[in-house]
Structure 1
Amino acid sequence: AGIYNITHQEMGHELLERKLRHINATGASVVATGNPGCMMQIAMGLREQGRDVAVLHPVQLLDESYREAGLYTAPAQEAAQSQQPALLIGTALALYLAAMLYRRYMRKYLKNVDQSR
């Protein structure tokens, strides 16, 4: 039910109850969903029931499967280090974009203030 848990609480609760019934009927130890809102809601519902079921995104499930199969050749530390430059570049781009958007917003704001005088 994801976001419905917030926007339509009664409907969200009904959807959660139905999902939990289905999950419990399977006896699954892992549940995968691509919706972060659903992940949070299902994990919460399972915790409240005292169930020890992992709730994962499909990419997390694939990552774990690949790791178990030995498909990763680089050690974890090496892989993490190779991701650091990309993370820094991504962060720098995000900050640049935020600054540009703020600058555009301030131009419009100041223009409106000047026009209202």
Structure 2
Amino acid sequence: MFSNDKNVETIAQLIEVLKHYIGLQTEYVKLDVIEKVVRLLTVITVVTVFCIILLISLIYLSFAAVYALQTLVGSLIWAFLIVGGGYLLLLFIFILLRHKLIERPLVRFLGSLLTSK
């Protein structure tokens, strides 16, 4: 009953289709991983470029603020100290809010990236 030619041919076709399906699934997984890596690298590159441009702008704005403060406080050294103190205050606030500002959005982004279909 099981050994006729039609059953053997059907089983052989089923095995071929199964092999093809497994090959397609592995290709899909490879392409999915590549897509997610490319998206992650794109976000990292965009954020890096944005941060560099922001940092350069911040340096120029800081010097402008120092020279504007110099006329108010009368001394260049005090103006630099005031701007430096402002940056230390921003750093302290940033450290206090790092979970809310960095960790949660980063975990949310990576979670959505890695679990999306």
Bigger CA radius of gyration: 2
TM-score in terms of structure 1 length = 0.33
User: Relative to total residues, which structure has the larger strand share, 1 or 2?
Assistant: 1
TM-score in terms of structure 2 length = 0.33
